[in-house]
A = this chain, B = another copy of it.
Amino acid sequence: MNTRSKPMPANERRSATVEAVVALAADQNPGDITTTAIAQQMGVSQAALFRHFPTKEDILESVMTWVAERLLSRVDAAAARASSPLAALEAVFTTHIEFIAKHPGVPKILFAEIQRPNNSLAKRAVHTLLNRYSTRLQKLFTDGKAEGELDPDLDINAATILFIGTIQGLVVRSMLSGRVAQIRRDAPGAFAIYRRGIVRSS
B112 touches A115 (CB 8 A): yes
Closest to A130 in B: B176
Give Cα distance in the complex from A162 to B163, angstroms: 10
Q: Is A147 an interface residue (CB 8 A)?
A: no
B115 touches A30 (CB 8 A): yes
Q: Is A135 an interface residue (CB 8 A)?
A: no
Give Cα distance in the complex from A169 to B29, angstroms: 21
Give Cα distance in the complex from A114 to B126, angstroms: 20
Residues A186 and B169 in contact in the complex (CB < 8 Å), given A115-B112, A193-B197: no
Chain A contact patch, size range: 35 or more
Residues A162 and B155 in contact in the complex (CB < 8 Å), given A117-B27, A193-B198, A197-B193: no
A161 touches B176 (CB 8 A): no
Give Cα distance in the complex from A167 to B162, angstroms: 9
Give Cα distance in the complex from A198 to B162, angstroms: 14
Closest to A31 in B: B31
Q: State the copy count for this chain.
A: 2
A199 to chain B, nearest CB (A): 9
Q: Is A189 an interface residue (CB 8 A)?
A: yes
Q: Is A159 an interface residue (CB 8 A)?
A: yes
Give Cα distance in the complex from A150 to B172, angstroms: 25
Q: Is A102 an interface residue (CB 8 A)?
A: no
Give Cα distance in the complex from A173 to B161, angstroms: 7
Instruction: Write the residues of chain A forming the contact surface with B, with a CB cutoff of 8 angstroms.
Output: 27-32, 108, 111-112, 114-117, 126-127, 130, 151, 154-155, 157-159, 161-170, 172-173, 175-176, 186, 189-190, 192-198, 201
| Pairs A–B under 8 Å by Cβ, sample size 22 | A31-B31, A32-B116, A108-B115, A111-B115, A111-B172, A112-B115, A127-B176, A130-B176, A151-B196, A157-B186, A158-B189, A158-B193, A161-B170, A161-B172, A162-B165, A162-B169, A164-B169, A164-B173, A165-B169, A166-B169, A195-B197, A201-B201
